[in-house]
Every structure is written in C-alpha cells, then in structure tokens.
Chains A and B, each alone.
Chain A
Amino acid sequence: MDYSPLLISLKCAILSTIITFFTGIYAAFLTTRLKRYKSLVDGILTLPLVLPPTVVGFLLLIFLGKNGFIGRFLNQYNISIIFSQAANIIASFLVSFPLMYRTIRGAFEQIDPYIIYVARTLGLSEHKIFMRIMLPNSIPSIVAGTVLSFARALGEFGATIMVAGNIPGKTQTMAIAIYNAVQSGNRELAYRWVFILVIISLITVIILNKFEQKGSTKIGRE
C-alpha cells in the first residue's frame, strides 16, 4: 500500500495549521479592536466556513489560475500554484481559518473589558497587554481552535480537489484517495483510508477534550 496520501495529508494539514494559528490569532485581535465595519470584516473572514468548499475552490482557481490575478503575476517567475502541494495548503488554510479565527475571537471578547482598561491605565503597552493578558487568558480557546483547524484541514476535500487535483504522490491526500478508491471500485483500499482517517480524527478530538477540561479548571473564573 502506498502511504504517500497519509504523508501528504499530514504535511499539508500541519503547515496550513501553522499559518492558520498566527493569522487566526492576529485577525481575531484586529477585529476585536475594529470600531466600524466590524460585522462586514467578520462576515468576510467567516465566509469560507459557510460556503460550500467547491465555491472556495472555484474562487481560488479564478485567482490562482494561469489567467487569474495572482496566477498571472506568479507565472512571470515561472511559479504555478495550481495542482501543486502549495494549492493543497492554501485550500486547507482557507477552509480552516474561520474555525481558528472565530474560536479565538470568542475568547478575546470574553475577557472582561475592565481588565484591559485597567492594564492601560497601569501603563502597559498594547503589545504587552496582548502578550501578557489576552493570550494567556485564551489558552484553552487557542488550543481548541488549533486542534479544530487541524482536523478540518486534514479532512479537506472539496476545495482541494478543485485547485490541487488528484495527482498520486504529489497532491493526493487521504480524503481524495478515498474518493479515488471508491471511483475505481477498490473497496478494500477505501476501507483502509477511512479507518486511518477516523482514528486520527478521533485522537485529535480526544486531545481537544483533554485540553478543554484542563483549561476550564486552571483559569476558572470562579
């Protein structure tokens, strides 16, 4: 059995989760400070969560394809993203980003605003408030957001198949391998991948629960 789909899935999910981690936290931080257009910005950032993944994939094709706005620019340097692992990562990132962003935004909004006010009057810089107060008080949500994003990225199918395609050994992830196996009538292979995917997903959710319990007892508000 060729294990490349497992490795590709893990690699792309890990990389996309790393990007999601930083961008999600930063986006959550920025939107909580927005005074105007807050719900519009929030809507745009959440959109990939509610749109069918095929729509995300189609929009990505438009932007990244040879005639697309970004694709044409990259083409000048002989870089093509479509049907590469980079497309895998971008697709996973886009669909998993809202999960991270929303979980962390929720945590930031739950922080008592008076804590932030007092921190400011005590002379703490905005950067210090973010690093020493906002982040440490959101650890359970950051863990939850990260795990959820990872699980989502790992199972990503719709957007991926549109922009990354189904190239064995290159862009074929586990989710796509299952589809491929079923299409070609290879039931046994499909079962195997389904089994592996279920096990990995289950482990992630169990890890998530462990952290959530820990978090709620340590930073118990009362």
Chain B
Amino acid sequence: MLYVNIRKKLNDFTLDIQFETNNETLALLGPSGSGKSMTLKCIAGIEKPDEGEIILNDRILFSSRKKINLPPQKRKIGLLFQNYALFPNMTLEENIKIAVSKKHKDKDRIVKEFINRFSLEGLENSYPYELSGGQQQRAALARMLVNEPELIMLDEPFSALDDHLKWQMEQELINLLNEQKMNSIFVSHNRDEAYRISDKIAVLESGKILSLGTKDELFNNPKSVNVAKILGCSNISRIEKIDEKEVYAIDWDMKLICKRFVDENVKYIGIFENNIEIHEDINSKNTFELKIVKIIENAFSYVLTLKNPNGKSNIYLKVNKNDFNRYNLAFKEFLNVKLREENLLLLY
C-alpha cells in the first residue's frame, strides 16, 4: 500500500498530490513540467515536500506533522530513470553487487541469479558504455530489484530507446511487473504507453491530479476537458444543451445525440480522432457531410482535417491508407462521417 498526500511550492506552481495505490501499477500521465518527476523525487526522498505525508506499507516515510523524513537510503524504493544511471566506473556485475543488501551472506550467488534472470550472462565484466540500450535497461532493472524494494518507480524508462527496442523492452517490463505484484509507479507523457503498462492512470497538470481512475474509466469518460486534451483528444467543441440526450456542438455546427445523460454542467463535447468513422449512409444517426480541408500523410495512415461548412473549428480524423484509397478521398472533396453516440465524451 502506498499513500501519498504532499504539497510543495515550486517556481511555476504548487505541487499538490494525493493518491493511494494497492499493489498495482499507477501511471502518472501529463505534459512535461507538470510535476510528475518531482512527485517521484518526493516519494523517493530526493526532494523534501513542504508538508504532508507519505506512507508505504505501514512505514511512515515522510510526515511533516510528526517531523519524520526518512533518507532515501531507508525508504526501500527502487528508481529507474530514462538514462538508467548505471555507475560508469563499475562493471555490470559490480553495479548489481553494490545494491545487494548487507544482510545477505552469499552476495555472489544472488548476483549470479539476477544476471541469469535478466539474460545478462557473459556481460559480467562489461562497463555500462559497452552495453546496448536494452542491456543497460535490464542491468538497471536487475540492480533495482536485487535491492528488494517495496515500491518501484519508473521515470519515462523508454524514452531513450529506438522504436523497435522500445516495444520489446516494454513487453519485458510488463511481464516483470505482473510477476512482481508490487506497488509501482510509472511516469509517462505517452498515453498509449501508459495505457498498456498500468492498471490505473493519474492525469497531472500544473502539479495537480486532474483525474485518477482505471484506464477504461478514464478513456471512456475523461469528464474534464483538460484531461481529454492531455489524453490526446483533439476534437473538442463547446456545446449548448438541447435536452437530456441531445446537444448542439457550437464550434462544429452539429446537433448530436448522446448516449450518456447530459446534465447541466456539461460544457464541451469531444471525440478521439480514432473514433470517428467514415459512413456511407448520410441519413444514419450523428452522420454529417464534411469537407476535407487538409490531408497529412503518415507512414501508414492519413490525418484528415475536416470542416463543416458552417462550423468554426476543424475535426480531425485518422484513416489507414487502405480505407483512404478505398473511399477515393481527396483534397476539397466531401466525406460522410459518423460520430457514434457511445464514443462522444461529455466534458466539464
């Protein structure tokens, strides 16, 4: 169990974080400079919060009220940074060995065990700069886990890796987290990465948690317009409520039927660009004829910028190349799209 309730004044904002986790993986998702890394540093004891409490499995790590502030050495927290921070003057074996707790008598046996477990055999005498990115990450993970932490925290661990390696390392990490069944916190600014790795996601902005929930809750119903933006929802419009099931999207000039009950507080409506469908039947529910005003080509998909002739803002839609060719889409042509009622996000 990890309980965090801390405040710390920083240059641009005040960090104000509360959450609790129970043997699960929590992702802190937010733009850079939102306080994610500072939160990790406070939990690890590298930075001191101004006030609050941090409790890990019944041990008080920090309490401003009880004047407790354990040094990082006594917190039993493992940290993994994106550059892995292996000790450059030590071989891989020494890097792992230095982290073995003093209570173990046969350090060499444990080191050997971890080297085997992380498939690092034959690299015992290599220095960190001689290892590949993947090997460095495995070495850093081995060093962290050999220390027997009660909580592990990963700060953007994949951002230094190439795309093809990233995928493999991510799968290894997911397996590892599932094996360990321990508290872990994962910091990321990539929504898909956070979704794949974690059980729960906390969305941060300017030092505050805007939303915390299971990942399905969050993506199906982000509730706040800022959360939706951080999750990468680029299609957002102001609304006027028509009735409990219908709204008028001001910026898109569309009347939309919603599946969820529209209460008085709903101010915006949104839809993820992957959730917009190309639909042939214009008479179908929530289907509109929009003009293609811009086409951006990716490796395997196109991002179309669409506009309702009387609307003020654009609607973005992602289509794969096969569909793009199948529908004969082209610049300045019109296209029928359907905004499925179950995909519409009602935002405050």
Interface residues of A (CB under 8 A from B): 112, 114-115, 117-125, 132-133, 136-137, 219-222
Q: Which of B44-86 contact A (CB under 8 A)?
A: 44-46, 71-75, 77-79, 81, 83, 85-86
List 8 A–B pairs whose Cβ atoms lie within 8 Å, in order of A's numbering. Answer: A117-B72, A120-B45, A121-B46, A121-B79, A123-B147, A124-B98, A136-B89, A220-B129
B88 at the interface (CB under 8 A from A): yes
Residues of B within 8 A of A125 (CB): 73
Contact between B78 and A121, CB atoms less than 8 A apart: yes
Q: Interface of chain B, helix or strand or loop or mixed?
A: loop
A113 vs B99: C-alpha distance in the bound complex, in angstroms?
A: 18
Residues of A within 8 A of B79 (CB): 117-118, 121
A-B contact count (CB 8 A): 65
Contact of A222 among B99, B129, B143, B147 (CB under 8 A): B129
B196 to chain A, nearest CB (A): 25
A32 to chain B, nearest CB (A): 15
Known: A117-B44, A117-B46, A221-B129. A124 touches B85 (CB 8 A): no
A115, A121, A221, A222 — which one has the most chain B CB atoms within 10 A of its CB? Answer: A121
Contact of B101 among A112, A121, A123, A137 (CB under 8 A): A123
Residues of A within 8 A of B88 (CB): 115, 137, 219, 221
Known: A120-B71, A219-B88. A114 touches B81 (CB 8 A): yes
Residues of A within 8 A of B71 (CB): 120
Contact between A114 and B85, CB atoms less than 8 A apart: yes
B87 at the interface (CB under 8 A from A): yes
Contact between B89 and A137, CB atoms less than 8 A apart: yes
Residues of B within 8 A of A117 (CB): 41, 44, 46, 72, 79, 81, 85
A212 vs B72: C-alpha distance in the bound complex, in angstroms?
A: 35
A137 vs B81: C-alpha distance in the bound complex, in angstroms?
A: 19
Closest 7 pairs between A and B when the two form their complex, measured CB to CB: A120-B72, A136-B89, A114-B85, A118-B85, A122-B99, A115-B85, A114-B81
Contact between A121 and B44, CB atoms less than 8 A apart: yes
A119 vs B72: C-alpha distance in the bound complex, in angstroms?
A: 9
A118 vs B95: C-alpha distance in the bound complex, in angstroms?
A: 11
Contact between A120 and B46, CB atoms less than 8 A apart: yes
With CB as the reference atom, state the residue of chain B lying closest to A115: B85
Residues of B within 8 A of A114 (CB): 81, 83, 85
Residues of B within 8 A of A137 (CB): 87-89
A115, A118, A136, A220 — which one has the most chain B CB atoms within 10 A of its CB? Answer: A118
Contact of B89 among A120, A121, A124, A133 (CB under 8 A): A133
For B, the interface residue count at a CB cutoff of 8 angstroms equals 28
A131 to chain B, nearest CB (A): 11
A112 vs B98: C-alpha distance in the bound complex, in angstroms?
A: 18
Contact between B73 and A123, CB atoms less than 8 A apart: yes
Residues of B within 8 A of A121 (CB): 44-46, 72-73, 75, 77-79, 147, 149
B85 to chain A, nearest CB (A): 4
A118 vs B143: C-alpha distance in the bound complex, in angstroms?
A: 10
A200 vs B71: C-alpha distance in the bound complex, in angstroms?
A: 49
A112 vs B88: C-alpha distance in the bound complex, in angstroms?
A: 10
A196 vs B240: C-alpha distance in the bound complex, in angstroms?
A: 92
A40 to chain B, nearest CB (A): 22
Known: A137-B88, A221-B129, A222-B129. A118 touches B81 (CB 8 A): yes
Contact between A132 and B78, CB atoms less than 8 A apart: no
Contact between B75 and A119, CB atoms less than 8 A apart: no
Residues of A within 8 A of B45 (CB): 120-121
Residues of B within 8 A of A220 (CB): 129
A123 vs B104: C-alpha distance in the bound complex, in angstroms?
A: 14
Bits for B194-224, please: 1 = Cβ < 8 Å to A, else 0. Answer: 0000000000000000000000000000000
A109 to chain B, nearest CB (A): 15
Contact between B89 and A219, CB atoms less than 8 A apart: yes
Contact between B46 and A132, CB atoms less than 8 A apart: no
Residues of B within 8 A of A112 (CB): 83, 85
A132 vs B95: C-alpha distance in the bound complex, in angstroms?
A: 11
With CB as the reference atom, state the residue of chain B lying closest to A222: B129
Contact of A122 among B46, B81, B98, B129 (CB under 8 A): B98
Residues of A within 8 A of B147 (CB): 121-123
A219 vs B71: C-alpha distance in the bound complex, in angstroms?
A: 30
A114, A123, A133, A137 — which one has the most chain B CB atoms within 10 A of its CB? Answer: A123
With CB as the reference atom, state the residue of chain B lying closest to A111: B88
A76 to chain B, nearest CB (A): 45
A114 vs B160: C-alpha distance in the bound complex, in angstroms?
A: 15
A120, A122, A132, A221 — which one has the most chain B CB atoms within 10 A of its CB? Answer: A122
Contact between B129 and A133, CB atoms less than 8 A apart: no
A191 vs B48: C-alpha distance in the bound complex, in angstroms?
A: 63
A114 vs B41: C-alpha distance in the bound complex, in angstroms?
A: 10
A121 vs B85: C-alpha distance in the bound complex, in angstroms?
A: 12
A74 to chain B, nearest CB (A): 42
Contact between B46 and A133, CB atoms less than 8 A apart: no
A65 vs B348: C-alpha distance in the bound complex, in angstroms?
A: 78
Q: Which of B144-176 contact A (CB under 8 A)?
A: 144, 147, 149
Residues of A within 8 A of B85 (CB): 112, 114-115, 117-118
